[in-house]
Amino acid sequence: MTNREEGYLYLPLADARKVIHVRANLFVAVVEIGAASRSKGTDYFLKLRIADPSYIAPGMSVNFFSGDTERLPRVKSSRDIICLRRVMMKIYNEEVYCAFHKKFSSFALFEGKSGSSFSPYQSSQNFHCVEHDVDCIKQLRTWLLDHQYAADMKDYSLQLREIKVGLEFDLICKVVHVCEIHEDAWMLFIWDGTDAPPIAFETNLDAERECPSPLHLEASPLPVDVLRKFPPVGSILRVTAGKWINEIQQLLDGGHWVKLGKITCEFQSGIWKGVLQNFSKVCLLSNEDETVLLRERY
């Protein structure tokens, strides 16, 4: 999608990857939403992953820095559209990415669904729409309608009812509660509306009498007021995660939808438990995301 109007040349991602250390203008789809976190300095940092018809998987990262989280992009849903102007193309460890500079770059966010408004639902103060933006949005919406991002990975996405011990998979779920189980580890309580497979195990009654199986994996049972907020239908899976996963900081108040990438499951004391490793990913999802709406119908 190479288009020019009022001095704006929108490059396809495949072409933008070739112009390192050059400012580029992009019209692309957001395929992964990161969480805002403190940078090593005084700014807040946010990373999005973007794609377009010229460069789909794995997509490209765009890094944002701002002294105020309100000025960072607040993407409603993956597969929404973002217009980026004057972002710097860079490379680090052989990975090409683009950097949003708060002084001269600008952005605007548009809904990715066909039939939605052509007006941005969020934009930076220095962004101004031009007439040809509508054509770019139409093209991307048509592409998004026909294309499922990372379709080659869809076979790895499971629901709780399909989990198996040792299998690595992706899971779209709602984090209903988070608690600290160690100074460097969290336990997430997640739900997707389905029931985890039953566990078959033999019980030695004498041993059970001497040392009963636990009813929970956390050090102490959750408070009753927390349990009352859990969905009445479907299994709750406990998932352990290290505190190096920054996105979990955004989930501490519960009720957020996420995509857990490369999660594995195991049995512990006769209870299903999920595990996030250092190579696992946590992608935040909007309540308006199509995959979320599908699961909320359960």
Quick one: pLDDT at residue 248? Answer: 86
Residue 105 sits in the same domain as residue 161: no
| Dist. CA 284–CA 270, nearest whole Å | 30
Residue 60 sits in the same domain as residue 159: no
Residue 56 sits in the same domain as residue 191: no
Domain boundary among the residues 149, 173, 190 is at: 149
| Dist. CA 78–CA 284, nearest whole Å | 9
Residue 134 sits in the same domain as residue 232: no
Residue 156 has pLDDT above 60, yes or no: yes
Quick one: pLDDT at residue 4? Answer: 47
Residue 95 sits in the same domain as residue 197: no
Residue 232 sits in the same domain as residue 137: no
Residue 174 sits in the same domain as residue 238: yes
Angstrom CA distances, 284 to 153, 192, 217, 240, stand at: 18, 15, 25, 17
Q: How many CB atoms are closer than 10 A to CB 252?
A: 13
Tokens standing for residue 165: 């011990």
Domain boundary among the residues 102, 133, 149 is at: 149
Quick one: pLDDT at residue 1? Answer: 52
pLDDT tens digit sequence for 218-256:
667 888 999 999 999 999 999 999 988 878 888 888 889
Domain boundary among the residues 131, 149, 167 is at: 149
Residue 160 has pLDDT above 90, yes or no: yes
Residue 24 has pLDDT above 90, yes or no: yes
Domain that holds residue 12: 3-149
Residue 145 sits in the same domain as residue 10: yes
Residue 134 sits in the same domain as residue 186: no
Residue 211 binned pLDDT confidence (cut-offs 50, 70, 90): low
pLDDT tens digit sequence for 52-109:
999 998 899 999 999 888 899 999 888 899 999 999 999 999 999 999 998 999 999 9
| Dist. CA 28–CA 6, nearest whole Å | 19
- pTM of structure: 0.71
Angstrom CA distances, 90 to 16, 82, 98, 196, 206, stand at: 10, 19, 6, 44, 65
Quick one: pLDDT at residue 124? Answer: 96
Residue 114 sits in the same domain as residue 252: no
- The CATH number that applies at residue 16 is 2.40.50.140
Residue 79 sits in the same domain as residue 145: yes
Angstrom CA distances, 70 to 75, 250, 252, stand at: 12, 15, 19
| Dist. CA 118–CA 133, nearest whole Å | 8
Residue 145 binned pLDDT confidence (cut-offs 50, 70, 90): confident
Residue 113 has pLDDT above 90, yes or no: no
What is the tally of structural domains in the chain?
Answer: 2
Residue 245 sits in the same domain as residue 136: no
Q: pLDDT averaged over the chain?
A: 87
| Dist. CA 142–CA 27, nearest whole Å | 14
